[in-house]
Structure 1
Amino acid sequence: MRVAVEDLEVALSGRTVVSGIGLVAEEGEIAGLVGPNGSGKSTVLRTVYRYLRPHAGRVLLDGTDIRTLTAAESARRVAALPQERGSDFELSVRAVVAMGRTPYKRAFAGEDRADAELVEAALARVGMAGAAGRRFSALSGGERQRVLLARALAQDPKVLVLDEPTNHLDVRHQVELLALLRDMGRTTLLSLHDLNAAASLCDRLHVLHEGAVVASGTPREVLTPGLLAEVFGVRAAVVEHPLTGDPLIAFDHRAPVAPVAQDAAVS
């Protein structure tokens, strides 16, 4: 399923947060949103999974405005892993993941065999099958993250929307998550702070700065020393990853510089 955000504008508490946003995630593509804190990444994602209503513009799923769909129809197409993590669920891990089947059930309908298989498969994919009977509230932050991802997978959506999905995960589980997303072949729109993870995972990157998209393209096209200086205010070199061949950003931690200084250095 193709996702297209067209001329999006969102205002919160009377202040315009993003304006004129246009970006796409083609069918089966992983599209990443990167940018400094406050650049509007989460705001854009929240409009895609209908947590926020745009002031102007629209989000299209295969050409259909998502706001013309019912909540259940939208949830069958798009599943989200937001930054806001549930921490007070006094439910079992399995029950939390089973909530992902809600958009497909009539009121008071019970779980059927197909639901059970999807829930079990989702838990297995995130490495949490052995924790099915534990209380969600007793899990660590990283474990909760994986369970909530399993809930999104159990939803069996056409599109995944993930806001900082590697937060709270240790290195091993970060690597496993990125590999899982890459292998799924599902249209995915996500935000990442880790630019090297974004360069490795994403087919396309959209760079946001001050509420606008300032660059779009492949990681190799977008992640240049000049852009890193201008948008992120850091001095960095972009080299080839020795294992994967992906762009690898080497940050100068000893001499970080402001964009003006970096621009002068590379001009």
Structure 2
Amino acid sequence: MSVAIEDVRVALGGRDVVAGVTLLAHDGEIAGLVGPNGSGKSTLLRTVYRHLRPDAGRVLLDGDDLTRLPPARVARRIAALPQERGGDIALTVREMVAMGRIPHQRAFAAEGPADVAAVDRALTQVGMAAAVDRPFAALSGGERQRVLLARAFAQDTRVLVLDEPTNHLDIRHQMELLSLLRAHRRTTLVALHDLNAAASVCDRLHVLADGTLLASGPPAEVLTAELIERVFGVHAAVTRHPLNGDPLIAFDHRRVPCD
């Protein structure tokens, strides 16, 4: 399933946070959004999972205008991991992940075998199968992140929208998450701060700054030292990863201008 963002504009507080962005995530492609804080990444993703309605432009799923689709149909196509984590929800880990199955169930229906299997599989994938009875609110930030990712996997959609999914995760779980995304091969829109992670997992990167799209393309073409300095204001060297050949960005903290 493809996701096409066509000339989307979103205004918040009287200013354009997203100013006419057009990009395409092809079927099965992992499309990364990168850019500094305030560049519009999260706002743009919210238009894809319908938390926000664009002031102009549109989002298409396989050619269908997202705003014209019934909410239940959208929920069977798109699963989201937003930045807002809902840490005070009084549910167990299993109950939280089982919420991902609601779009596939009839009203007031009990879990069926397919629902149970999907929840168990998702919990195993994120390494939280042993925590099914723990209160979600009692988990660490990284554990909550993994449970919410399991909920998105259990929803079993063809599109994933992930906003900073590696936040709060240690190095091992970051690597496992990136590996899962590659293995699932669902159409994925993901916002990432870590440029090396983005270079490793994404098929295509879209660089945002001040609500506009500055560059799009494969990571090896987009992540140049010149673009990184222009967008992020830091000095960097881009080489090849010695283990896998991905772009590898090294930063020089001694050459960051101080405000």
TM-score with structure 1 setting the length: 0.95
Which residue identity is paired with 1:72? Answer: A
Shift of 1:14: 2.2
The equivalent of 2:44 in structure 1 is: 44
Provide the rounded CA distance (Å) in 2 between the counterparts of 1:246 and 1:256: 25
Which residue identity is paired with 2:104? Answer: Y
Unpaired runs of at least 5, structure 2: none
The equivalent of 1:64 in structure 2 is: 64
Provide the rounded CA distance (Å) in 2 between the counterparts of 1:26 and 1:205: 12
Provide the rounded CA distance (Å) in 2 between the counterparts of 1:234 and 1:16: 25
Cα displacement string for residues 32-53 of structure 1 (whole angstroms, at most 9, x for unaligned residues) = 0000000000000000000000
Shift of 1:140: 0.5
| Contact kept? 1:235, 1:257, Cα under 8 Å | no
Shift of 1:86: 1.2
Provide the rounded CA distance (Å) in 2 between the counterparts of 1:14 and 1:69: 28
Shift of 1:254: 1.5
Shift of 1:72: 0.7
The equivalent of 2:229 in structure 1 is: 229
Q: Identical aligned pairs, as a percentage?
A: 69
Q: Which runs of 4+ in 1 moved over 3 A?
A: none
Which residue identity is paired with 2:187? Answer: T
Q: Map 1:77-92 to 2 at 5 A.
A: 77-92=77-92
Q: Map 1:204-215 to 2 at 5 A.
A: 204-215=204-215
Provide the rounded CA distance (Å) in 1 between the counterparts of 2:71 and 2:90: 25
Provide the rounded CA distance (Å) in 1 between the counterparts of 2:186 and 2:158: 7
The equivalent of 1:157 in structure 2 is: 157
Shift of 1:150: 0.5
Cα displacement string for residues 96-135 of structure 1 (whole angstroms, at most 9, x for unaligned residues) = 0000011112221111111100010010111101101111
Provide the rounded CA distance (Å) in 2 between the counterparts of 1:105 and 1:66: 22
Provide the rounded CA distance (Å) in 2 between the counterparts of 1:251 and 1:109: 53
Cα displacement string for residues 154-176 of structure 1 (whole angstroms, at most 9, x for unaligned residues) = 10011000000000001110011
Q: Map 1:158-197 to 2 at 5 A.
A: 158-197=158-197
| Contact kept? 1:93, 1:136, Cα under 8 Å | yes
* 1:54 aligns to 2:54 (yes or no): yes
Cα displacement string for residues 3-46 of structure 1 (whole angstroms, at most 9, x for unaligned residues) = 11000000112221111100111111100000000000000000
Which residue identity is paired with 1:201? Answer: V
| Contact kept? 1:239, 1:249, Cα under 8 Å | yes
Cα displacement string for residues 186-219 of structure 1 (whole angstroms, at most 9, x for unaligned residues) = 1100000000000011000000010000000000
Q: Map 1:19-34 to 2 at 5 A.
A: 19-34=19-34
Which residue identity is paired with 2:204? Answer: R
The equivalent of 2:146 in structure 1 is: 146
Which residue identity is paired with 2:240? Answer: E
Provide the rounded CA distance (Å) in 2 between the counterparts of 1:30 and 1:228: 21
Q: Secondary structure at the match of 2:253?
A: coil
The equivalent of 1:262 in structure 2 is: none
Shift of 1:257: 4.8
Q: Secondary structure at the match of 2:245?
A: coil
Provide the rounded CA distance (Å) in 2 between the counterparts of 1:92 and 1:255: 47
The equivalent of 2:12 in structure 1 is: 12
Provide the rounded CA distance (Å) in 2 between the counterparts of 1:164 and 1:51: 16
TM-score with structure 2 setting the length: 0.98
The equivalent of 1:111 in structure 2 is: 111
CA RMSD of aligned residues (A): 0.9
Provide the rounded CA distance (Å) in 1 between the counterparts of 2:100 and 2:237: 42
Which residue identity is paired with 2:149? Answer: L
Unpaired runs of at least 5, structure 1: 259-267
The equivalent of 2:102 in structure 1 is: 102
